[in-house]
Amino acid sequence: MRRTGTTARDVQEVWFALARRHWRSLVLVPADEGGSAAAIAASLADVGRRLRETPVTFLIMADPLDFASAAKIVAAFDLTKQGGSALAVAPTGKVVVAVQPVVVEPLGLAVTEAADAVVLCIEVGRTRLAAARRTIELVGRERIAGALLVH
């Protein structure tokens, strides 16, 4: 993600807003092609690590997903629900994942469907309205916990 105007305070506010919901797995999805939610996911995971006794594992998907990596993330989400730790990637706790935009990387939908919550990341002045609407349609409005406007 390009340098953003998102401050540490903004990220903390997002964490506390998400804390009102019960979730163990969270996926951040950029709303448009070329967008990235990696920086926001890293910041959220950092806030979570500092504030929670339960570990927060951060998984970043910088490269396009393949079937194996999507399945591994879904399995990691399942482990957080079961409380087990068979995969080294996901100890019990919260998992924060950044995926590629689902408008160009449809395998990200397998990850969003398995997650407890999804946050849509919208870049002010860059994200096209049509792409944001298509992302919401693909992910499912009911799965989206909220949207984050990134400057």
Per-residue pLDDT reduced to its tens digit, 72-126: 888 888 776 665 444 444 446 789 999 999 999 999 999 999 999 999 999 999 9
pTM: 0.83
Confidence of residue 3 (pLDDT cuts 50, 70, 90): very low
Residue type, 2: R
Q: What is the mean pLDDT of the chain?
A: 85
pLDDT of residue 128: 95
> Which is the CATH superfamily of the domain at 8-150?
P-loop containing nucleotide triphosphate hydrolases (3.40.50.300)
> Residue 95's closest CA among 58, 129, 132, 122?
58
Dist. CA 18–CA 113, nearest whole Å: 18
- Tens of pLDDT, residues 28-62: 999 999 999 999 999 999 998 888 767 787 777 76
C-beta of residue 18 within 8 angstroms of C-beta of residue 26: yes
Chain Cα centroid distance, residue 105: 14
